[in-house]
Structure 1
Amino acid sequence: MSSQPQVSPLNIGIDEASRAKIADGLSRLLADTYTLYLKTHNFHWNVTGPMFQTLHLMFETQYTELALAVDLVAERIRALGYPAPGTYSQYAQLSSIPETEGVPKAKEMISLLVAGQEAIVRTARSIFPLVEEVNDEPTADLLTQRMQVHEKTAWMLRSLLEE
Protein backbone atom coordinates (compact mmCIF):
# COMPACT_ATOMS: atom_id res chain seq x y z
CA MET A 1 0.00 0.00 0.00
CA SER A 2 1.29 3.40 -0.85
CA SER A 3 0.88 6.18 1.68
CA GLN A 4 -1.45 8.98 0.76
CA PRO A 5 0.06 12.40 0.06
CA GLN A 6 1.20 14.27 3.12
CA VAL A 7 -1.16 16.81 4.66
CA SER A 8 1.32 19.66 5.00
CA PRO A 9 4.94 20.31 4.02
CA LEU A 10 7.53 19.07 6.49
CA ASN A 11 11.15 19.98 6.92
CA ILE A 12 12.49 17.56 9.54
CA GLY A 13 15.67 16.60 7.72
CA ILE A 14 14.27 13.49 6.00
CA ASP A 15 13.28 13.79 2.34
CA GLU A 16 9.70 13.13 1.31
CA ALA A 17 10.41 9.90 -0.57
CA SER A 18 12.17 8.41 2.45
CA ARG A 19 9.41 9.54 4.80
CA ALA A 20 6.85 7.91 2.50
CA LYS A 21 8.76 4.60 2.50
CA ILE A 22 9.15 4.68 6.28
CA ALA A 23 5.45 5.51 6.69
CA ASP A 24 4.60 2.55 4.44
CA GLY A 25 6.74 0.25 6.59
CA LEU A 26 5.22 1.64 9.77
CA SER A 27 1.76 1.12 8.27
CA ARG A 28 2.60 -2.59 7.94
CA LEU A 29 3.85 -2.57 11.54
CA LEU A 30 0.64 -0.88 12.65
CA ALA A 31 -1.46 -3.45 10.79
CA ASP A 32 0.50 -6.34 12.32
CA THR A 33 0.23 -4.82 15.79
CA TYR A 34 -3.51 -4.23 15.51
CA THR A 35 -4.12 -7.69 14.08
CA LEU A 36 -2.17 -9.28 16.93
CA TYR A 37 -4.05 -7.08 19.41
CA LEU A 38 -7.36 -8.35 18.08
CA LYS A 39 -6.18 -11.98 18.06
CA THR A 40 -4.83 -11.73 21.61
CA HIS A 41 -8.01 -10.09 22.88
CA ASN A 42 -10.09 -12.81 21.20
CA PHE A 43 -7.98 -15.51 22.84
CA HIS A 44 -8.31 -13.74 26.21
CA TRP A 45 -12.09 -13.98 25.91
CA ASN A 46 -12.16 -17.56 24.67
CA VAL A 47 -9.32 -19.45 26.37
CA THR A 48 -10.33 -22.53 28.39
CA GLY A 49 -8.60 -25.38 30.13
CA PRO A 50 -6.39 -26.01 33.14
CA MET A 51 -4.26 -22.89 32.48
CA PHE A 52 -7.30 -20.63 32.07
CA GLN A 53 -6.52 -18.15 34.84
CA THR A 54 -2.83 -17.81 33.93
CA LEU A 55 -3.48 -17.41 30.20
CA HIS A 56 -6.51 -15.17 30.66
CA LEU A 57 -4.44 -12.72 32.70
CA MET A 58 -1.34 -13.04 30.50
CA PHE A 59 -3.34 -12.38 27.33
CA GLU A 60 -4.96 -9.33 28.99
CA THR A 61 -1.54 -7.89 29.81
CA GLN A 62 -0.42 -8.54 26.23
CA TYR A 63 -3.44 -7.04 24.47
CA THR A 64 -3.30 -3.98 26.73
CA GLU A 65 0.35 -3.43 25.76
CA LEU A 66 -0.53 -3.89 22.07
CA ALA A 67 -3.38 -1.38 22.35
CA LEU A 68 -0.93 1.23 23.62
CA ALA A 69 1.58 0.31 20.91
CA VAL A 70 -0.82 0.92 18.02
CA ASP A 71 -1.13 4.51 19.18
CA LEU A 72 2.65 5.00 19.27
CA VAL A 73 3.09 3.58 15.78
CA ALA A 74 0.17 5.54 14.31
CA GLU A 75 1.42 8.77 15.86
CA ARG A 76 4.90 8.24 14.37
CA ILE A 77 3.30 7.81 10.92
CA ARG A 78 1.47 11.10 11.49
CA ALA A 79 4.66 12.83 12.65
CA LEU A 80 6.24 11.81 9.34
CA GLY A 81 3.40 13.63 7.56
CA TYR A 82 1.20 10.75 6.44
CA PRO A 83 -2.21 9.43 7.45
CA ALA A 84 -2.20 6.26 9.53
CA PRO A 85 -4.30 3.37 8.21
CA GLY A 86 -7.24 2.67 10.48
CA THR A 87 -9.70 0.28 8.89
CA TYR A 88 -10.05 -3.49 9.07
CA SER A 89 -9.76 -3.73 5.28
CA GLN A 90 -6.50 -1.78 5.30
CA TYR A 91 -5.14 -3.91 8.13
CA ALA A 92 -6.15 -7.13 6.37
CA GLN A 93 -4.32 -5.94 3.26
CA LEU A 94 -1.18 -4.78 5.09
CA SER A 95 -0.77 -7.37 7.87
CA SER A 96 1.52 -10.37 7.68
CA ILE A 97 -0.43 -12.04 10.52
CA PRO A 98 -3.33 -14.22 9.36
CA GLU A 99 -6.67 -14.27 11.12
CA THR A 100 -7.50 -17.36 13.13
CA GLU A 101 -10.82 -19.02 12.40
CA GLY A 102 -12.79 -20.57 15.22
CA VAL A 103 -11.54 -21.04 18.77
CA PRO A 104 -8.31 -23.03 19.00
CA LYS A 105 -7.24 -24.97 22.07
CA ALA A 106 -5.09 -23.09 24.59
CA LYS A 107 -1.78 -24.61 23.42
CA GLU A 108 -2.52 -23.64 19.80
CA MET A 109 -3.46 -20.13 20.94
CA ILE A 110 -0.03 -19.83 22.53
CA SER A 111 1.69 -21.07 19.35
CA LEU A 112 -0.29 -18.64 17.21
CA LEU A 113 0.62 -15.76 19.50
CA VAL A 114 4.31 -16.71 19.37
CA ALA A 115 4.09 -16.62 15.57
CA GLY A 116 2.37 -13.23 15.71
CA GLN A 117 4.93 -11.75 18.08
CA GLU A 118 7.76 -12.97 15.86
CA ALA A 119 6.03 -11.62 12.74
CA ILE A 120 5.95 -8.16 14.27
CA VAL A 121 9.67 -8.39 15.05
CA ARG A 122 10.39 -9.30 11.41
CA THR A 123 8.24 -6.42 10.13
CA ALA A 124 9.95 -3.94 12.47
CA ARG A 125 13.40 -5.25 11.53
CA SER A 126 12.60 -4.91 7.80
CA ILE A 127 12.13 -1.14 8.19
CA PHE A 128 15.49 -0.59 9.89
CA PRO A 129 17.79 -0.29 6.84
CA LEU A 130 15.95 2.75 5.46
CA VAL A 131 15.52 4.31 8.91
CA GLU A 132 19.25 4.01 9.56
CA GLU A 133 20.13 5.27 6.07
CA VAL A 134 18.28 8.58 6.64
CA ASN A 135 19.16 8.94 10.35
CA ASP A 136 15.56 8.71 11.51
CA GLU A 137 16.41 8.20 15.17
CA PRO A 138 12.86 8.57 16.54
CA THR A 139 11.61 5.75 14.30
CA ALA A 140 14.70 3.66 15.08
CA ASP A 141 14.01 4.11 18.78
CA LEU A 142 10.37 3.10 18.34
CA LEU A 143 11.35 0.02 16.32
CA THR A 144 13.97 -1.01 18.87
CA GLN A 145 11.48 -0.72 21.72
CA ARG A 146 8.83 -2.67 19.81
CA MET A 147 11.27 -5.46 18.92
CA GLN A 148 12.40 -5.76 22.54
CA VAL A 149 8.80 -6.10 23.76
CA HIS A 150 7.84 -8.63 21.09
CA GLU A 151 10.98 -10.75 21.40
CA LYS A 152 10.52 -10.96 25.18
CA THR A 153 6.81 -11.77 24.87
CA ALA A 154 7.52 -14.47 22.28
CA TRP A 155 10.12 -16.00 24.61
CA MET A 156 7.68 -16.01 27.52
CA LEU A 157 4.92 -17.58 25.44
CA ARG A 158 7.34 -20.16 23.95
CA SER A 159 8.38 -21.18 27.45
CA LEU A 160 4.78 -22.25 28.13
CA LEU A 161 5.00 -24.74 25.26
CA GLU A 162 8.03 -26.57 26.66
CA GLU A 163 7.41 -29.90 28.33
Structure 2
Amino acid sequence: MNMDIGISTEDRAKIVESLSVVLADSYMLYLKTHNFHWNVTGPMFSALHLMFETQYTELWNALDNIAERIRALGHFAPGTYKRYAELSSITEEIDVPQAKEMIRQLVEGQEAVIRSARAAVRIADQIDDFPTADMLSTRMEVHEKNAWMLRAFLEQGAGQVQGEASST
Protein backbone atom coordinates (compact mmCIF):
# COMPACT_ATOMS: atom_id res chain seq x y z
CA MET A 1 0.00 0.00 0.00
CA ASN A 2 1.28 3.46 -0.87
CA MET A 3 2.17 5.66 2.12
CA ASP A 4 1.41 9.40 2.03
CA ILE A 5 2.26 11.01 5.38
CA GLY A 6 3.83 14.15 3.94
CA ILE A 7 7.36 12.75 3.95
CA SER A 8 8.75 11.41 0.70
CA THR A 9 9.85 7.81 0.31
CA GLU A 10 13.47 8.95 -0.02
CA ASP A 11 13.30 11.11 3.11
CA ARG A 12 11.67 8.33 5.10
CA ALA A 13 14.52 6.03 4.05
CA LYS A 14 17.07 8.62 5.25
CA ILE A 15 15.51 8.99 8.66
CA VAL A 16 15.06 5.22 9.02
CA GLU A 17 18.75 4.72 8.25
CA SER A 18 19.70 7.10 11.05
CA LEU A 19 17.07 5.68 13.41
CA SER A 20 18.50 2.22 12.79
CA VAL A 21 21.86 3.44 14.10
CA VAL A 22 20.15 4.90 17.19
CA LEU A 23 18.37 1.57 17.70
CA ALA A 24 21.62 -0.39 17.31
CA ASP A 25 23.53 1.89 19.67
CA SER A 26 20.70 1.72 22.19
CA TYR A 27 20.55 -2.07 22.00
CA MET A 28 24.32 -2.48 22.37
CA LEU A 29 24.27 -0.11 25.36
CA TYR A 30 21.34 -2.06 26.82
CA LEU A 31 23.32 -5.32 26.57
CA LYS A 32 26.45 -3.81 28.06
CA THR A 33 24.53 -2.17 30.92
CA HIS A 34 22.67 -5.40 31.73
CA ASN A 35 25.92 -7.39 31.61
CA PHE A 36 27.58 -4.93 34.00
CA HIS A 37 24.52 -5.04 36.30
CA TRP A 38 24.97 -8.80 36.64
CA ASN A 39 28.72 -8.69 37.11
CA VAL A 40 29.64 -5.53 39.03
CA THR A 41 31.62 -6.08 42.24
CA GLY A 42 33.39 -3.96 44.82
CA PRO A 43 32.54 -1.30 47.35
CA MET A 44 30.16 0.51 44.97
CA PHE A 45 28.26 -2.71 44.22
CA SER A 46 24.88 -1.81 45.68
CA ALA A 47 24.64 1.68 44.18
CA LEU A 48 25.93 0.60 40.77
CA HIS A 49 23.83 -2.57 40.66
CA LEU A 50 20.68 -0.48 41.21
CA MET A 51 21.73 2.33 38.84
CA PHE A 52 22.59 -0.13 36.07
CA GLU A 53 19.21 -1.85 36.54
CA THR A 54 17.37 1.47 36.27
CA GLN A 55 19.30 2.37 33.14
CA TYR A 56 18.97 -0.97 31.34
CA THR A 57 15.24 -1.11 32.12
CA GLU A 58 14.73 2.36 30.66
CA LEU A 59 16.78 1.38 27.59
CA TRP A 60 14.77 -1.81 27.11
CA ASN A 61 11.55 0.19 26.98
CA ALA A 62 13.07 2.77 24.62
CA LEU A 63 14.08 0.07 22.12
CA ASP A 64 10.45 -0.68 21.39
CA ASN A 65 9.61 2.99 20.77
CA ILE A 66 12.52 3.44 18.36
CA ALA A 67 11.74 0.24 16.44
CA GLU A 68 8.05 1.10 16.25
CA ARG A 69 8.89 4.55 14.88
CA ILE A 70 10.88 2.84 12.12
CA ARG A 71 7.84 0.66 11.39
CA ALA A 72 5.52 3.69 11.39
CA LEU A 73 7.76 5.19 8.71
CA GLY A 74 7.11 2.13 6.54
CA HIS A 75 10.34 0.18 7.01
CA PHE A 76 11.40 -2.93 8.87
CA ALA A 77 13.48 -2.38 12.01
CA PRO A 78 16.81 -4.17 12.27
CA GLY A 79 16.48 -6.94 14.81
CA THR A 80 19.56 -9.13 14.87
CA TYR A 81 22.69 -8.89 16.96
CA LYS A 82 24.77 -9.16 13.78
CA ARG A 83 23.04 -6.13 12.26
CA TYR A 84 23.30 -4.15 15.51
CA ALA A 85 27.03 -4.89 15.69
CA GLU A 86 27.41 -3.63 12.10
CA LEU A 87 25.47 -0.42 12.74
CA SER A 88 26.66 0.48 16.23
CA SER A 89 29.76 2.33 17.34
CA ILE A 90 29.46 0.65 20.76
CA THR A 91 31.53 -2.50 21.10
CA GLU A 92 30.75 -5.39 23.37
CA GLU A 93 32.88 -6.10 26.41
CA ILE A 94 34.14 -9.66 26.42
CA ASP A 95 35.79 -9.52 29.85
CA VAL A 96 34.42 -8.41 33.20
CA PRO A 97 36.19 -5.14 33.95
CA GLN A 98 36.51 -3.46 37.33
CA ALA A 99 33.60 -1.24 38.39
CA LYS A 100 35.28 2.05 37.41
CA GLU A 101 36.05 0.69 33.94
CA MET A 102 32.42 -0.42 33.63
CA ILE A 103 31.30 3.10 34.49
CA ARG A 104 33.75 4.63 32.01
CA GLN A 105 32.50 2.34 29.23
CA LEU A 106 28.88 3.13 30.04
CA VAL A 107 29.58 6.87 29.94
CA GLU A 108 31.10 6.35 26.50
CA GLY A 109 28.06 4.30 25.48
CA GLN A 110 25.61 6.94 26.70
CA GLU A 111 27.55 9.57 24.76
CA ALA A 112 27.56 7.38 21.63
CA VAL A 113 23.76 7.14 21.76
CA ILE A 114 23.55 10.91 22.23
CA ARG A 115 25.71 11.47 19.14
CA SER A 116 23.70 9.05 16.98
CA ALA A 117 20.41 10.57 18.19
CA ARG A 118 21.71 14.07 17.53
CA ALA A 119 22.68 13.10 13.96
CA ALA A 120 19.24 11.55 13.44
CA VAL A 121 17.38 14.54 14.87
CA ARG A 122 19.16 16.81 12.37
CA ILE A 123 17.77 14.67 9.54
CA ALA A 124 14.32 14.58 11.13
CA ASP A 125 14.35 18.37 11.47
CA GLN A 126 15.36 18.81 7.81
CA ILE A 127 12.42 16.75 6.59
CA ASP A 128 9.88 18.07 9.11
CA ASP A 129 9.52 14.70 10.83
CA PHE A 130 8.40 16.20 14.13
CA PRO A 131 7.40 12.95 15.91
CA THR A 132 10.85 11.46 15.28
CA ALA A 133 12.61 14.68 16.30
CA ASP A 134 10.56 14.81 19.51
CA MET A 135 11.31 11.19 20.39
CA LEU A 136 15.02 11.69 19.71
CA SER A 137 15.14 14.89 21.74
CA THR A 138 13.68 13.00 24.69
CA ARG A 139 16.21 10.20 24.18
CA MET A 140 19.11 12.66 24.22
CA GLU A 141 17.86 14.18 27.47
CA VAL A 142 17.68 10.74 29.13
CA HIS A 143 21.16 9.75 27.95
CA GLU A 144 22.71 13.08 28.95
CA LYS A 145 21.31 12.64 32.46
CA ASN A 146 22.50 9.02 32.63
CA ALA A 147 26.01 10.01 31.51
CA TRP A 148 26.10 12.77 34.13
CA MET A 149 25.04 10.35 36.88
CA LEU A 150 27.65 7.80 35.82
CA ARG A 151 30.38 10.46 35.60
CA ALA A 152 29.63 11.40 39.22
CA PHE A 153 30.96 7.99 40.28
CA LEU A 154 34.28 8.69 38.56
CA GLU A 155 34.92 12.04 40.24
CA GLN A 156 37.65 12.29 42.85
CA GLY A 157 36.31 11.21 46.22
CA ALA A 158 33.11 9.69 44.82
CA GLY A 159 31.21 7.96 47.57
CA GLN A 160 32.43 10.34 50.28
CA VAL A 161 30.36 13.01 51.95
CA GLN A 162 31.44 16.49 50.81
CA GLY A 163 34.15 17.77 53.12
CA GLU A 164 34.74 14.35 54.70
CA ALA A 165 38.40 13.35 54.66
CA SER A 166 39.22 9.87 53.49
CA SER A 167 40.67 7.60 56.13
CA THR A 168 43.94 5.97 55.18
Is the structural similarity TM-score above 0.5? yes
Listed one character per residue, the Cα deviations across residues 70-93 of structure 1 (whole Å, up to 9, x for unaligned) are 000000000000000000000010
Counterpart of 2:7 in structure 1 is 14
The alignment yields a C-alpha RMSD, in angstroms, of 0.7
Residue aligning to 2:132: 139
Q: Which runs of 5+ in 1 are unaligned?
A: 1-7
- For residues 126 and 28 of structure 2, the distance between their equivalents in structure 1, rounded to whole angstroms, comes to 29
User: Which AA in structure 1 matches 2:137?
Assistant: T
Distance of 1:110 and 1:129 partners within structure 2: 29
Report runs of 4+ in structure 1 exceeding 4 Å deviation.
none
- Structure 1-normalised TM-score? 0.94
**What are the Cα deviations for residues 87-117 of structure 1, in whole angstroms up to 9, with x where unaligned?**
0000010011011120000000000000000
| Equivalent residue, structure 2, for 1:54 | 47
Q: Which residue of 1 aligns with 2:25?
A: 32
Unmatched 5+ stretches in structure 2: 157-168
What pairs with 1:75-114 in structure 2 (closer than 5 Å)? 75-114=68-107
Which has the larger Rg?
2
Q: Deviations over 1:9-68 (max 9, x none)?
A: 211000000000100100000000000000000000000000111100110000000000
**Hey, what's the Cα distance between the residues in 2 that align with 1:134 and 1:69?**
23
TM-score of the aligned structures, taking structure 2 as reference length: 0.91
Instruction: Give the whole-Å Cα distance in 2 for the aligned partners of 1:145 and 1:130.
Output: 16
AA partner of residue 114 (structure 1): V
Pick from 127, 143, 150 the counterpart of residue 150 of structure 1. Answer: 143
Q: Who is 1:44 aligned against?
A: 37
SS across alignment from 1:151: helix
